[in-house]
């Protein structure tokens, strides 16, 4: 991984603020150029801080389309779902159009909801900005090491036997992630240092996606 893609910060809040600034800048540029901004959200604590910081951002929310990098196969409204976190942290506080929030219907089951999401993703030209996190095992979104979902070439993929509950999930596949114009990976917490060192050494962990920008506080 090239060092020029890594930016280091003192605290997780510093990471969240820097990435919030990127979201604002990317939204402004894409809306000015094409009249639309396709943005993929990540789950986790640091992204949550980023979303909270964006509540007061001067963004043309009516032209923003929100997507989700992954979702857990849980009932609608479950507090462990990524879209519930995003709603509480940001989406309930800004005038984004309901029809522009592209939720993963994971309550329908991994296979069916992945197929529906892949079809929806196929209708757009490209994703502008994808936010991703990293787990202590080097997973990103719900793409875990050695999981068969890594070999699935669809835009959205079902994930079974996740090492973290719930065992069934839906994730954007590598095809969608790699086609995005920009990926920003947010990594905070000392517990992730070993995985990050492995990424820097070139180990083939799921999160080690070429041409990504890393914003870290470890």
Print the domain residue range for 119: 9-129+150-183
- Main-chain phi, psi angles of 44, to 5 degrees: 115, 170
The reply to whether 39 falls in a domain is: yes
The pLDDT tens digits along the chain (218 residues) read 555 599 999 999 999 999 999 999 999 999 999 999 999 999 988 899 999 999 999 999 999 999 999 999 999 999 999 999 999 999 999 999 999 999 999 999 999 999 999 999 999 999 999 999 999 999 999 999 999 999 999 999 999 999 999 999 999 999 999 999 999 999 999 999 999 999 999 999 999 999 999 999 99
Contact 114, 170 (CB under 8 A): yes
Peptide bond into 49 cis (omega under 30): no
Q: Is residue 71 part of a domain?
A: yes
CATH number at residue 104: 3.40.50.1360
Position 193 in a domain: no
Helix, strand and coil content of the chain, in percent to the nearest 5, comes to 40, 20, 40
Structural domains of the chain, count: 1
Q: Is residue 204 part of a domain?
A: no
Q: Are 173 and 195 in contact (CB under 8 A)?
A: no
């Amino acid at each position: 991984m090239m060092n020029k893609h890594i930016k280091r910060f003192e605290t997780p809040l510093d990471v969240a603020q820097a990435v919030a600034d990127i979201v604002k800048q990317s939204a402004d540029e894409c809306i000015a150029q094409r009249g639309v901004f396709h943005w993929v959200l990540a789950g986790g604590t640091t992204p949550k801080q980023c979303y909270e910081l964006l509540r007061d951002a001067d963004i043309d929310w009516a032209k923003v389309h929100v997507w989700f990098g992954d979702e857990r196969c849980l009932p609608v409204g479950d507090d462990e779902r990524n879209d519930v976190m995003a709603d509480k942290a940001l989406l309930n506080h800004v005038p984004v159009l309901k029809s522009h929030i592209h939720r993963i219907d994971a309550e329908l089951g991994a296979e069916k909801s992945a197929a529906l999401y892949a079809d929806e993703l196929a209708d757009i030209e490209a994703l502008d900005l994808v936010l991703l996190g990293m787990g202590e095992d080097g997973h990103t979104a719900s793409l875990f090491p050695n999981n068969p979902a890594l070999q699935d070439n669809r835009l959205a993929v079902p994930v079974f036997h996740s090492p973290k509950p719930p065992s069934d999930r839906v994730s954007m596949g590598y095809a969608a992630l790699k086609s995005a114009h920009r990926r920003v990976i947010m990594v905070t917490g000392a517990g992730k240092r070993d995985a990050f060192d492995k990424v820097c050494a070139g180990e083939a962990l799921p999160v080690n996606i070429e041409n990504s920008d890393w914003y870290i506080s470890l």
